[in-house]
Structure 1
């Protein structure tokens, strides 16, 4: 049986020190439920250091990613205020091990979500939507992991950049998404890759939070999941994500 607190310490210190560690499953077999216990314990360590939970991120929101990982359900992790980077600002890559970036959309809730929502209810719980990018950074050696490993590692979440807020939720159904690095298009996709419609991510977030007996306060962020494949980051780059009809978000790396 895996030692939950020790495993949480390993992944937390790996993230804190930007130093890769061996996959947890290399030494112990454990369940996805145990992985979420490790995740919760590792995030609690951050909270004790002064970080504040500000929302959640979803993973495996595309059918292709589910098939690739051999799973049939989404995964989720926490985002904290310490993970926020400024739109248009600089991101120091020395804080990460092997960072990659994904274009996403981010929702801001206007009401507390404390139960599973239906698709019809979801928009009533939203204040706004913004173009966003998530910086993912598995804390495991060689960016290799099992489902249990990635869940324990807070679903590889490492940073996020959120653009200007907008109110057009209907335009999200099949909005074009472009990820640019130094002016060159490196990934092109559509918001339809996010569960067919990103608002469905809010429905899934409400279900997952409810299953873990967790409520999302008003003002929470919900990172809906990647619209394209991830792209590896290098120093000295300008990175931009454009979500047609919603806006754009950018940062530079150093």
Structure 2
């Protein structure tokens, strides 16, 4: 059971994970995020807690890990409570200059997250991602629904597989987009590392389309912030 004691526990019905989530409050009035994970996922959550500690130690603005342990339902994780608003509900309605500034901040945070290297025994990126490509193409070929131009897309992918060779790998947030960011005290706070992984850091931009849908200016800021306004041609 948690070492911290709480006087109230309110369920949170957001997100897609299997965790039960609660906003809990101590007798001193301090709020925390409590997540309860089924036993079968407990090993994953232990690893995630350790990685969150490494990320938080870098000074990343995030939902910080506080406590981890076992409970009757599996395992629990306690994290700091973010008393803010969802970024996707705030950023699109700001001045363009403010949207861009938040984007720069989000890009710089992502660069810090990627400073954590992948384990030395991590398989090379080229065969890993090629396997994913092969699986996706196989799924499409076996699907009865087709669309015009698919052959051109598949051929383009195949002809550019060589770009996967010798790519670096790092820690990845795994789901980095505006839906997993909050605004607290006029600062970006990163949440939900549930899909963390290790791989090509540039793969992390595969969800930037959701940022662009909310604010293309914010999305541009993320890229420029990440690359310190020196976006390489290869990217």
TM-score by structure 2 length? 0.29
Q: Higher Cα Rg: structure 1 or 2?
A: 2
Q: In proportion to residue count, which structure has more strand?
A: 1
Higher relative contact order (Cα pairs below 8 Å, separated by 6+ residues): 1
TM-score by structure 1 length? 0.27
